[in-house]
Amino acid sequence: MPGKPRICLFDANGLITDITARAEELVGFPPGAALGRHVTELFPFIDLNSEHEKGWEEVALERADRKQVRVAHSLLRTANGGGAIAFVELSGRESAVDELIESDRQNRLLFEQHPFPTWVYDIETLRFLDVNPAAIHHYGYSREEFLSMTLKDIRPSEDVPATVEAARRNALAFRSTGRWRHRRKDGQIITVDITATATTYRGRRAKLAVIQDVSDWQESQRKVAEATALIDAIVNTVPLAIWGIDLSGNVNFWNSKAEELFGWREAEVLGAPPPCLAPQELPGVANTGIDMDGTRASARNTSAAASVERKLHRKGGEAVYCDIWSAALRDPRGSSIGTIAVAADTTERRRGQEQLATYVQNLARSNDDLRQFAYAASHHLQEPLRNVRLFAELLGELQPADERAAEFRGHIQTGAKQIQELVDGLRKYWELGESVPDLQRRVDTGAVLKRVLAESHAALQAAGASIKVEPLPALLGSEQELATVFKELLSNAIRFRGQGRLQIEISARSSRAAARAANQTQSCSPAREWELCVRDNGIGIAPAYSDRIFEIFKRLSRAHEGIGLGLALVKRIIERHHGRIWVQSEEGQGSAFYFTWPAAGDEAMTVSAGKTVEARGME
**pLDDT digit string, tens, across residues 30-39:** 888 889 899 8
Per CATH, domain 118-218 is 3.40.50.1980? no
Between 3.40.50.300, 3.30.1490.20, 1.20.120.1200, 3.30.450.20, what CATH number should domain 7-113 receive?
Answer: 3.30.450.20
Between 3.30.565.10, 3.40.50.620, 3.90.230.10, 3.30.70.100, what CATH number should domain 435-615 receive?
Answer: 3.30.565.10
Q: How many CB atoms lie within 10 A of CB 600?
A: 21
Please check whether the two domains, 118-218 and 240-345, share a CATH topology.
yes
Q: Kindly list the distances between the CA atom of residue 321 and the CA atoms of 280, 294, 312, 332, 344, in Å, as whole numbers in the listed order.
A: 16, 17, 6, 34, 8
Q: Which tens digits make up the pLDDT trace of 148-169?
A: 999 999 999 999 999 999 988 8
pTM of the predicted model as reported, rounded to 2 decimal places: 0.41
Q: Which of these, 151, 148, 195, 203, lies nearest to 175 by C-alpha position?
A: 195
Q: Which of these, 420, 435, 434, 437, lies nearest to 370 by C-alpha position?
A: 434
Architecture of domain 240-345 in this structure: 2-Layer Sandwich (3.30)
Which residues face 7 on adjacent strands?
86
Mean pLDDT of 458-485: 91
Give me the percent of the chain exceeding a pLDDT of 70.
74
Q: Which tens digits make up the pLDDT trace of 260-290?
A: 999 999 999 999 999 887 654 433 334 334 4
The side-by-side arrangement of strands in the sheet containing 204-213 is 128-131, 118-122, 204-213, 189-201, 175-183
Q: What is the pLDDT of residue 473?
A: 93
Q: Which tens digits make up the pLDDT trace of 421-446?
A: 666 666 666 666 656 778 889 999 99
Mean pLDDT of 16-32: 87
What are the boundaries of each domain within the chain?
Answer: 7-113, 118-218, 240-345, 351-433, 435-615
Q: What is the pLDDT of residue 296?
A: 39
Mean pLDDT of 210-226: 84
* Integer Cα distance of 481 and 441 in angstroms: 12
